Amino acid sequence: MRSFRLSMVPGGLVLAVGLFLSGCANTPKDVTAGWTPEKIYSEARDEANAGAWDKAIGFYEKLEGRAAGTVLAQQAQIDKAYAQYKTGDKIQAIATLDRFIRLHPASPALDYAIYLKGLVNFNDNLGMFSFLTKQDLSERDQKAAKDSYESFKELTTRFPASKYAPEARQRMLHIVNALAAYEVHVARYYASRGAHVAAVNRAQQAIAEYPGVPAVEEALGILVSSYDAMGMSALRDDAKRVLEKNFPQSDYLKAEGVKKSSSWWRLW
């Protein structure tokens, strides 16, 4: 009878076998083995409710594979996007939502998916409490705000009766105010440094693109002061007449026409 001796096995093969066995020993056990899809979803929801978003994401991903093609898998996908949003992983949340929207155009949850996409890009620190950090959307990256606006706009256009539409409209108004304030923020920066042509251009852009928002008042004030600084009295007087007509009690009508501005979140 032939005997097998370990010493006859090439050293490289021994090492490979050892690594393979070691890897098998360290392979984590799948705790969901044998679970029903409903059980996996229940556990995912429990973890999400407890704020254990990373664990919830793991369960949702298991469910997507285990129950592929079912309504429950669709629910897991959209819940995973929300969990990713809550962990701060906005890029993955948007990718998950884009995939859901592409694959399930007839889903009854499509309005929520579009709303959630807008929410992911919406800055949670907007509003009158932004003064706590002395920073607001008007001083931050504008791309996310514009993307958020487009998602909310799509929701309110395609699903005007959606239960998410009223909130989406409020957020759209909020974003428009902030985007207008951003243009004024830049115009103010230029004006403070004597770059009056650039200040006029940005102030005019704010007035043209965002008519009727609170930031227009300061934009007109910047026009008045910048035209005055450049000796353009006719244009200054025209801007002042518009300011007087629309904001007769404006502080920008006093002194030089432009005061030191508080942030756009002031209570108007």
Task: Give DSSP secondary structure letters for 184-237.
Answer: HHHHHHHHHTT-HHHHHHHHHHHHHHSTTSTHHHHHHHHHHHHHHHTT-HHHHH
- pLDDT-based confidence at residue 255 (cuts at 50, 70, 90): low
Which of 19-28, 147-156, 235-244 has the weakest average pLDDT?
19-28
Q: Return the CATH fold of 177-253.
A: 1.25.40
Question: Mean pLDDT, to the nearest integer, of 159-180?
Answer: 95
Supply the mean pLDDT for the chain: 83
Alpha carbon distance 73, 62 (integer Å): 9
Tell me: the pLDDT tens digits for 22-56? 555 556 678 888 899 999 999 999 999 999 999 99
Domain ranges (residues) in the chain? 36-104, 177-253
Average pLDDT over residues 71-77: 95
User: Residue length, the chain?
Assistant: 268
89-100 residue pLDDT tens: 999 999 999 999
The third-level CATH classification (topology) of the domain covering 36-104 is: 1.25.40
Same fold, 36-104 and 177-253: yes
Report the range of poorest mean pLDDT among 18-22, 125-129, 256-260: 125-129
Is the confidence at residue 141, as pLDDT, over 80?
Answer: no
| Residue predicted with more confidence, 137 or 49 | 49
Amino acid at 41: Y
Q: Please tell me the predicted confidence (pLDDT) of residue 253.
A: 87
pLDDT at 125 over 70: no
